Structure 1
Amino acid sequence: MGTAGASTDEVAGERRQLMNVAYRLLGSLAEAEDAVQEAYARWYALPQDRRDVIVSPGAWLTTVTGRICLDVLGSARARRERYVGAWLPDPLPDRAERHLGHGGGPTSPVALTDPADQMVLDESVTMAFLVVLESMTPAERVAFVLHDVFRYPFAEIAGILDRTPAACKQLAASARRRVRGARPPVKAARQAEAVRRVKEAWEAKDIAALVDLLDPAAVMTADGGGLVGTVLRPIEGGARIAQYLVAIADKAVGLELLERSVNGAPGLVARQAGAVATVASFEIADGRVTRIWAVRNPEKLRPWARGWAV
């Protein structure tokens, strides 16, 4: 059956799914939104008779979005080589927490229009998972995300990658090995406890306590995009990270640390003068912090700034 009976609302209703696919493929809300917008532009540019014979508009839009994301990923590496400092995926706020500052609920105007509110937060959007995705080739990432995360069959993925289903299966298997090589996530309660202890030691400017909480081989990566001051290269070693965190606390007068969900996992938000300055994600292993990802680029913090008036 074609789409003659498919309403504009039904086609538009695919946006949430497309945004979730595009964000996981690209790691950027702005790029994901652009990719989805372009997919819709191509859909509405089709003559009506062409649209009427498309059995599943959702599948068509997903295929087109996947191809657009594949092209973006192909050029992203060159662009990120020119990026000032380390590049990290956009951090996602928890919808419920973010809208507390609006005095409105999920039906507030911001909630209806903000792309961040269309994200489904699960293990496939944790910062640790997204960083692993960044290590994959564009084709591996598309094959893995579409098949392992969204359960699309390899026959459909083959149309996006212009490869055989067997080749797509091999790409997904290769990507899967990269994921298996990463540390498994810890339970939310254990991560929350570790993050809380880091917060308390950071607020107390207790270097010894921070060193004890950090793995000796811990790595901290910060993303300022050249727009704000931050370290341009990862800081390696728990002792060095502890010293850096205390140095920040000494310089940032009025720094406020809040425990918040970041990409669906316990994290920290640092505010200064009421504005969100940093969003930090953590990787925990054996009760100690092994990785810290700190996003400071204000362009990546826009979804956080909108709902944090209080």
Structure 2
Amino acid sequence: MGDADFLARRFEEHRAHLTAVAHRMLGSRAEAEDAVQEAWVRLSRAGGDGVENLAGWLTTVVARVCLNHLQSRRSRREEPLEHAEPAEVRERGPEQEAVEADSVGLALLVVLDTLTPAERLAFVLHDLFAVPFDEIAPIVDRTPAAARQLASRARRRVRGAPVPEQDHSRKREIVDAFLIASRAGDFGALLSMLDPDVVLRADQRAVHMGAKAELLGADEVAKAFLGVAKRAQVAVIDGSVGAVVAPRGRTRLVLNFTMVGARIAAIEVRADVDHLKALDVELIG
């Protein structure tokens, strides 16, 4: 990956995802673009040799840049939401459309701004982008268990934030269509709803139930869902639209979806009993 042009092309493949991460972290599109540009500068200086997972490496770099910015912002006692605009449509190219269509509502940004920088990072990376706590921990200089606690504290505050109705309805339509395509074994339809770099991660109990611990790429994820999800139902899980398997009304497994534009960018499969007990689940008929 030493060729500069090739490295630049690979970076551009991840730009929309990185911008989405930074936008949720910082609440400002302009600052998000600056953070992504800083990641490119660092990558171009370091080169890509030895980087096995470029998406993960870049996400970590962007997260560190955003964390530093949040800490600096906090120390200066800024009021960032005065400058945090809902992403405006300029020239709606594919990259802008992907980020803006799934942008965080202003109400949620207000809640995120009450969190400490470490809490915000842990929540955004884990709950919105399915990054495991083992990868979050070194970014915030904590153990994985401590990183989990950061996200948990953040989640308790965020649960009270209202979800914009249009985003809620839109996500429900996408999740419902995905489950229908899964049950029907429609590979083409599944593929069309998945981001090319979609990632699926499952917890240990879900793996014991037959799920893959991790899958990368639309082809692999689409294949994994062919003909399955027959008992899955669309549900609101802790205020966010997802899916559950709940025979006789008892939740056995949940699917959390992260959207970028009209496509699914991440799927988190959770079946841990203690985790499920703590969830607020409302089935959608």
Bucket of the pairwise TM-score, normalised by the shorter protein: 0.5 to 0.7
* Structure 1 match to 2:27: 27
State the AA in 2 paired with 1:69.
Answer: C
Residue among 63, 68, 84 paired with 1:66: 63
Larger radius of gyration, structure 1 or 2? 1
Instruction: Verify the 8 A CA contact 2:16 2:96 in the aligned structure 1.
Output: no
Alignment of 1:139-288 (within 5 A): 139-182=118-161, 184-185=162-163, 187-188=165-166
Q: Secondary structure at the match of 1:136?
A: coil
1:52 maps to 2:49: yes
Q: Distance in 1 between matches of 2:98 and 2:77?
A: 26
Residue among 77, 82, 92 paired with 1:87: 82
Instruction: Verify the 8 A CA contact 1:147 1:172 in the aligned structure 2.
Output: yes
Map Cα deviations across residues 83-116 of structure 1 (whole Å, 9 max, x no partner): 8xx72521223x5xx6xxxxxxxxxxx3349x75
Shift of 1:53: 0.9
Shift of 1:13: 1.1
Map Cα deviations across residues 274-300 of structure 1 (whole Å, 9 max, x no partner): xxxxxxxxxxxxxxxxxxxxxxxxxxx
Shift of 1:185: 2.9
Shift of 1:172: 0.1
Structure of higher RCO (CA pairs closer than 8 Å, 6+ residues apart): 1
Cα–Cα, structure 1 residues 82 and 180, in superposed 2: closer, same or farther, change >3 Å?
Answer: closer
Map Cα deviations across residues 46-69 of structure 1 (whole Å, 9 max, x no partner): 1x4xx2211011111110100000
Unaligned ranges ≥5, structure 2? 170-260, 262-285
* Structure 1 match to 2:206: none
TM-score by length of 2: 0.52
Percent identity, aligned pairs only, is 48
Cα–Cα, structure 1 residues 66 and 77, in superposed 2: closer, same or farther, change >3 Å?
Answer: same
Instruction: Verify the 8 A CA contact 2:87 2:100 in the aligned structure 1.
Output: no
TM-score by length of 1: 0.48
State the AA in 1 paired with 2:15.
Answer: R
Residue among 91, 114, 117 paired with 1:135: 114
Map Cα deviations across residues 189-244 of structure 1 (whole Å, 9 max, x no partner): 999xxxxxxxxxxxxxxxxxxxxxxxxxxxxxxxxxxxxxxxxxxxxxxxxxxxxx
Q: Distance in 1 between matches of 2:127 and 2:168?
A: 26
Shift of 1:8: 3.2
Q: Secondary structure at the match of 1:181?
A: coil
Cα–Cα, structure 1 residues 158 and 190, in superposed 2: closer, same or farther, change >3 Å?
Answer: closer
Q: Distance in 2 between matches of 1:166 and 1:189?
A: 32
Shift of 1:4: 6.5
Q: Distance in 1 between matches of 2:145 and 2:135?
A: 12
Instruction: Verify the 8 A CA contact 2:108 2:163 in the aligned structure 1.
Output: no
Cα–Cα, structure 1 residues 186 and 30, in superposed 2: closer, same or farther, change >3 Å?
Answer: closer
Q: Distance in 1 between matches of 2:44 and 2:165?
A: 44
The alignment of Structure 1 onto Structure 2 pairs a total of residues equal to 168
